[in-house]
Structure 1
Amino acid sequence: MQHDKNLKKNFKDRGWALIKSVFSANEIARFREIANQLKTEQYTADLLGHPLTRSILFDDRILDVVRQLLETDELVYFGDSSCTISKTPGSAHFHKDNPDKLNGKGPDWQEEYPIIRLGIYLQNHDKFSGALAIRDRSHNTNDIKLGSPFYVDNQVGDLSVWYLTTTHAGYSKRLKLAPNFFLNTSLYRFVPDFMFVPEEQYRIAYFMTFGKKGPLLDRYLRYLQTREYMVQAWKKTKYDQSCFDFATSKNIELIDMYPKVKDVDESTLNRSHVELPN
């Protein structure tokens, strides 16, 4: 992929990017087949752990984007990826994914955040419900009400990317009478389902998270070790040597979290956000 000199600047300014036509329609169709196979196998661990999805996770086009945005050749991957399939509309609320959600003066807000998430949505959302929603330029504040909200109008083959500090909602819905008017996600519960535009087809998305080595990444991993959902995910992921070899071949530092969490008592973990001490 050719380097776009404006990609990094725009991403840093706005906190998100939509990169057009990264994958072909045939590739996306294959990704859907793989996702459905994973569901048949009841595979719920991360993308690196499965032979069919590790090449999606570490696709050179994705890694090239991540290296441009994080401005490093030394990427870190730590087992935070998934394939999600939803045949019924999901819930959506604006939120951030970094540790300092409440403390606006915490470490997360003192420098450019070194962890980003990417999403490959395997259906069009430019005219349909189910899109990622983002608050523009919301990545430098902990106030989730700041930033103009909008739908990410991705089409098949596009790649979405955002900072963990960017305010976003995972499953937005469009009104039939005004599909381009942004209805705040907090109001969905007051609107009957028949008034929303349906999805183009049932929603499948691949998500992956990468970081740049440093104190904020270390802190994020400490935070994730307090969260029930992530510890449960890591416990499902047991890498064999082929996973480490593949990461090495892609110049990725692979942090295996399974040994750190395998004996953790899940009853001690937080189901919702709890602030880390600074």
Structure 2
Amino acid sequence: MGSTNMTYLNPMTVTLIGIPGLEHVQFWIGFPFLGVCLVALLGNIFLLIIIPTERSLHQPMYIFLAVLAVTDLGLCVAIAPKMLTIFWFGSCSMAFDACLTQLFFIHALQGMESGILLAMAFDRYVAICDPLRHTAILTPLFLVQVVLMMAIRATVLVGILPILLKRVHLFQSVVILHCYCEHMAVVKLAEEDVRINKSYGLFVAFAILGFDMIFVFISYILIFWAVFHLPQKEARLKAFNTCTCHIVIFLEFYILAFFSFFSHRFGHVSSYAHILLSTIYLLVPPALNPIVYGMKTKEIRRRLIRFVF
């Protein structure tokens, strides 16, 4: 790594400082994050054991839930180990290529999770608005195609982010004010013109999160319209109840996602508040998803009780 006048040419390593402003207490902050990660790991592994073995759960909604569990496990593995070593052992150094690899997996898995939430919204739309054709539309082949399409979309669009960063050679600093490698946090280190990086990052955010959010919103407008026109109150409540879990996770995911996105680019939120919220946004949904979705499902509850007792 060469440096001249406080600039760095093709740095081999970067330094992640954790949570700026809270370095003196981040040792203790690591414990609740560890608890969240353990809940996420145990909950999602349990779902991945239950869903394939329980025949009554071989339905589109639960197949998407299994894919979501895999995505959530990947997010925890991508973020938690390095973050906790920074908090507890002060191991802040990270190879630049490893940083770009972490950046890719975090944003690709984030995009994949958004896509699966969209697929689950479509499943609820068909189940409520066109129930007689639900099985005919959401065939096993269609489910595989949807999952592959979401994975390819996230991989291709996000994969260009580290490629563009690799083309940047001159950096004003190698200290990342974060506890994991995030695209804009790395872009802000550059000494060169990075307008292409910023513009493409904005495009990816709206091409994935923005697109998905709009179509999930449209799906639920149509769902609510259909639900409110059901003749019986019991039928309306039952139909609405099938959507409550997804609505809670949808609101949490997208509200925190866009808060993190816009505060990094346009806001004046304190660094520690932004980093805490962006980390919560990535780690809390993987812990909540198996609880919110799983515990409302009778078959999963029954298997959990049998497993525990």
Which interval holds the TM-score relative to the shorter structure?
under 0.3
Greater strand percent: which structure? 1
Greater helix percent: which structure? 2
- TM-score of the two chains, using structure 2 as the length reference: 0.22
- TM-score of the two chains, using structure 1 as the length reference: 0.23
Higher gyration radius (CA):
2
